[in-house]
Structure 1
């Protein structure tokens, strides 16, 4: 059985800027056919909205936590309504 599709807003805290986090997130999301975006925030955190099967999102998050220079100390999660027409996954600026 396929896992249900969900959309999450995620806020990552830790050593997540200046370490390739956004691009690793983009490559992982595209690898798992997820949609959404990721961006650096002025306070040093990274925010992401990601949409797809729950299982694929979980795998993407595991992959991010194995990054060589990335150190995720905390992830804040919030469920959001689905965005039906969204295509692709992008890196955004501030």
Structure 2
């Protein structure tokens, strides 16, 4: 059995810092079987990292994008597989 999980990195651009974006993302994560983190980047973007079952991770990312769409101008998504790196979901610094 493989220890690898589906992994997603998403970089959100727009008015995504200083609006509760990370806090709301953490709230959305509670409704999904995902682990990972969300953090502000120095360039003004927010990075979301999530891992777990592929369908669960993709649904989670879509829900974040849907709930916070008024703040998002653009999003870049990269996916892959690898060893689980997180326990739980949190705001990273």
- In 1, Cα distance between equivalents of 2:85 and 2:62: 26
Q: Could you say what secondary structure the match of 1:19 adopts?
A: coil
- In 1, Cα distance between equivalents of 2:73 and 2:58: 17
**TM-score where L is the length of structure 1:** 0.77
Partner of 1:32: 32
Counterpart mapping for 1:10-29 below 5 A:
10-29=10-29
Counterpart mapping for 1:33-52 below 5 A:
33-52=33-52
Unaligned runs of 5+ in 1: none
**TM-score where L is the length of structure 2:** 0.77
Partner of 1:53: 53
- In 2, Cα distance between equivalents of 1:85 and 1:78: 16
Q: More deviation in 75-84 or 24-33?
A: 75-84
- In 1, Cα distance between equivalents of 2:47 and 2:68: 20
Partner of 1:84: 84
Q: More deviation in 77-86 or 49-58?
A: 77-86
Change in Cα spacing, 1:62 to 1:79, as seen in structure 2 (3 Å) is: closer
Unaligned runs of 5+ in 2: none
